[in-house]
């Protein structure tokens, strides 16, 4: 298989920036998108902070017609459409008048249109099903986001929504990569989204895995790799990428941001040390190794890692697994960061948000700094030296970056992104 696969478009709707320019600028500056959410306090949540993209009415008017805005009550769709349309336009692709059978969409989510569904539930329970309106189904079916995007774009290849918890966005990238590699599509709009709000985050609050002592200082709450990490901060948003065959990108003179060299997905079967909420370490290491093998990138060639690193007790385990899988430790370990320190855990959106950030790093040859980990966890320092955990955004020669997402249910996805050198 000699086909090469590249990235030709990027879009983002993040708690610390709506749109690629604002997002990248803020991320480089270590600006957090975590805020105190009054509604969570009213509803007696223990964790009353979260990440929510600051979407304005102007943003919405830009992408949604007046008609589309009627009864629109699905924040995941708003975020996904904003990110997806930005990526599409940035890739220089047209809105299709007739179906483009060469282009598809894989846009994932974990749960969609939660607020709209709540609206529907109340109406149905009150005996008022007849008042649901015609878009209730569209806004709440999981594939609503890929369908909604396609109503605007006219793609005629596979159009679907994948779902694998926190690995959803990264998995979507790999599914598109494989489809294009096998010649079944020329390009795919890829990404994932996650609604914001108490109904999405409540279940996590109930599991008591979120930070509860940072309601007064939200920006310091998300602390991946820190000795004082105390749970992930719930978040939301969407990331989007246009993934394309190199041949097609050249043919239409598209700007190429980076290349996908390879990747892998697997599961730890929730066996050994794996469970619903914790990964099987051996499976994680296998996933990293397989990703490297398929990409033909040697472990020593990895310039940086963008980790899953959620700020739970599992962070040191993840670092250990990276170290073992790459056979690199101490000072030899690559630079590593986690976007979650600034935007929290976007759940199903996390993989795509973080893949976008990873590609931006390659494009700009800069690694963004981590915040909230001046106090690195001692278990981590047993395996890698402190300087590897980048504290300030730095220019580094970046050739290959390994990006991983590990999801609830012991599911793993690792992508090897590479600088495009022609």
Partner 1 sequence: MIYDKLKDIIKVYLPEDVNVDSINKDSHLMNELNINSAHLVDIVLDIEDAFDIEIANEDIERMQTVEDALDVIEGKLEA
Closer Cβ to partner 1, 133 or 202, answer by number: 133
**Shortest Cβ distance from residue 72 to partner 1 (Å)?**
12
Closer Cβ to partner 1, 132 or 209, answer by number: 132
The interface region with partner 1, picked from 4-12, 66-74, 220-228, 232-240 by CB under 8 A, is 66-74
The interface region with partner 1, picked from 63-71, 113-121, 397-405, 414-422 by CB under 8 A, is 63-71
Query: Does residue 339 contact residue 370 with C-beta atoms inside 8 Å?
Result: no
The interface region with partner 1, picked from 62-70, 95-103, 256-264, 282-290 by CB under 8 A, is 62-70
Closer Cβ to partner 1, 66 or 98, answer by number: 66
The set of residues, in sequence order, having a beta carbon less than 8 Å from that of 143 and lying 6+ positions away, is: 160, 161
Closer Cβ to partner 1, 151 or 217, answer by number: 151
184: contact with partner 1 by CB under 8 A: no
Q: What share of the chain is helix, strand, coil (3-state, %, to 5)?
A: 40, 20, 40
Q: Which of 2, 38, 67, 253 binds partner 1 (CB under 8 A)?
A: 67
* Other residues' Cβ atoms within 10 Å of the Cβ of residue 257: 23
Helix or strand run (H / E) with residue 1: none
**Shortest Cβ distance from residue 140 to partner 1 (Å)?**
15
Closer Cβ to partner 1, 129 or 331, answer by number: 129
Query: Does residue 170 contact residue 356 with C-beta atoms inside 8 Å?
Result: no
CA distance 151 to 105: 11
Closer Cβ to partner 1, 71 or 299, answer by number: 71
Task: Count interface residues toward partner 1 (CB under 8 A).
Answer: 8
CA distance 294 to 401: 14
Return the residue matching tokens 């590699």: 181
* Other residues' Cβ atoms within 10 Å of the Cβ of residue 19: 18
Closer Cβ to partner 1, 10 or 74, answer by number: 74
Q: Half-sphere exposure (CA, 13 Å, Cβ side) for 263?
A: 29
Extract the tokens encoding 67.
């008609």
Q: Taking Cα atoms as reference points, which of 269, 330, 261, 339 lies closest to residue 301? A: 261
**Shortest Cβ distance from residue 129 to partner 1 (Å)?**
11
| Helix orientation angle between 198-206 and 114-125, rounded to the nearest 10 degrees | 100
Q: Taking Cα atoms as reference points, which of 65, 64, 58 lies closest to residue 80? A: 64
**Shortest Cβ distance from residue 225 to partner 1 (Å)?**
49
**Shortest Cβ distance from residue 71 to partner 1 (Å)?**
8
What is the longest distance spanned by two Cα atoms in the chain?
65
Closer Cβ to partner 1, 117 or 204, answer by number: 117
**Shortest Cβ distance from residue 93 to partner 1 (Å)?**
20
Closer Cβ to partner 1, 64 or 177, answer by number: 64
Q: In this structure, are strands 34-36 and 258-267 parallel, antiparallel, or unpaired?
A: unpaired
Q: In this structure, are strands 187-194 and 103-109 parallel, antiparallel, or unpaired?
A: parallel
**Shortest Cβ distance from residue 73 to partner 1 (Å)?**
14
**Shortest Cβ distance from residue 100 to partner 1 (Å)?**
20
66: contact with partner 1 by CB under 8 A: yes
Q: Is 89 exposed, middle or buried (0-12, 13-18, 19+ CB in 10 A)?
A: middle
Binding mask 70-109 for partner 1 (x = CB under 8 A): xx--------------------------------------
Q: Return the DSSP state at 234.
A: B
CA distance 184 to 358: 26
The interface region with partner 1, picked from 64-72, 249-257, 336-344, 373-381 by CB under 8 A, is 64-72
Closer Cβ to partner 1, 133 or 154, answer by number: 133
**Shortest Cβ distance from residue 65 to partner 1 (Å)?**
8
**Shortest Cβ distance from residue 97 to partner 1 (Å)?**
13
The interface region with partner 1, picked from 16-24, 65-73, 306-314, 320-328 by CB under 8 A, is 65-73
Binding mask 119-138 for partner 1 (x = CB under 8 A): ------------x-xxx---
Helix (H, G, I), strand (E, B), or coil: what is residue 49? strand
CA distance 328 to 13: 34
**Shortest Cβ distance from residue 151 to partner 1 (Å)?**
11
- Map the footprint of partner 1 across residues 135-164, applying CB under 8 A: 135
For binding to partner 1 (CB under 8 A), which residues are involved?
Answer: 66-67, 70-71, 131, 133-135
């Amino acid at each position: 298989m000699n086909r090469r696969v590249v990235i030709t478009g990027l879009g983002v709707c993040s708690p610390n920036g709506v749109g690629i320019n604002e997002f990248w600028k803020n991320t480089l500056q270590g600006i957090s998108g975590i805020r105190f959410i009054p509604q969570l306090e009213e509803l007696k949540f223990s964790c009353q902070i979260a990440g929510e993209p600051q979407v304005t009415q102007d943003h919405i008017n830009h992408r949604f017609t007046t008609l589309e805005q009627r009864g629109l009550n699905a924040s995941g769709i708003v975020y996904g459409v904003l990110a997806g349309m930005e990526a599409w336009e940035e890739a220089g692709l047209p809105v299709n008048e007739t179906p483009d059978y060469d282009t598809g969409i894989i846009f994932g989510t974990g749960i969609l249109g939660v607020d709209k569904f709540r609206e529907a539930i109340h109406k149905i329970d009150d005996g008022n099903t007849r008042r649901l309106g015609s878009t209730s189904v569209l806004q709440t079916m999981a594939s609503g986001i890929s369908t909604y995007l396609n109503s605007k774009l006219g793609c005629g290849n596979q159009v679907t929504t994948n779902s694998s918890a926190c690995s959803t966005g990264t998995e979507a990238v790999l599914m598109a990569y494989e489809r294009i590699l096998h010649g079944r599509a020329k390009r795919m709009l890829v990404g994932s989204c996650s609604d914001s709000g108490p109904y999405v985050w409540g279940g996590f609050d109930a599991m008591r895995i979120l930070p509860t002592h940072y309601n007064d200082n939200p920006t310091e709450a998300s602390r991946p790799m820190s000795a004082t990490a105390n749970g992930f901060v719930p978040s939301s948003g969407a990331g989007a990428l246009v993934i394309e065959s190199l041949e097609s990108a050249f043919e239409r003179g598209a700007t190429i941001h980076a290349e996908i060299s390879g990747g892998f997905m697997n599961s730890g079967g929730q066996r050994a040390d794996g469970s619903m909420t914790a990964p099987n370490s051996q499976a994680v290491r296998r996933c990293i190794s397989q990703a490297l093998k398929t990409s033909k990138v040697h472990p020593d060639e990895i310039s940086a890692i963008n980790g899953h690193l959620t700020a739970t007790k599992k962070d040191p385990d993840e670092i250990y697994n990276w170290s073992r899988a790459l056979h690199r430790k101490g000072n030899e370990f690559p630079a590593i960061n986690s976007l979650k320190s600034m935007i929290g855990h976007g759940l199903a959106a996390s993989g795509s948000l973080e893949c976008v950030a990873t590609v931006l790093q390659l494009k700009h040859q800069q690694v963004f700094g981590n915040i909230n980990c001046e106090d690195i966890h001692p278990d981590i320092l047993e395996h890698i030296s402190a300087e590897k955990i980048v504290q300030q955004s730095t220019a580094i020669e970046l050739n290959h970056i390994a990006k991983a997402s590990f999801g609830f249910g012991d599911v793993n996805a690792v992508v090897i992104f590479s600088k495009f050198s022609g």
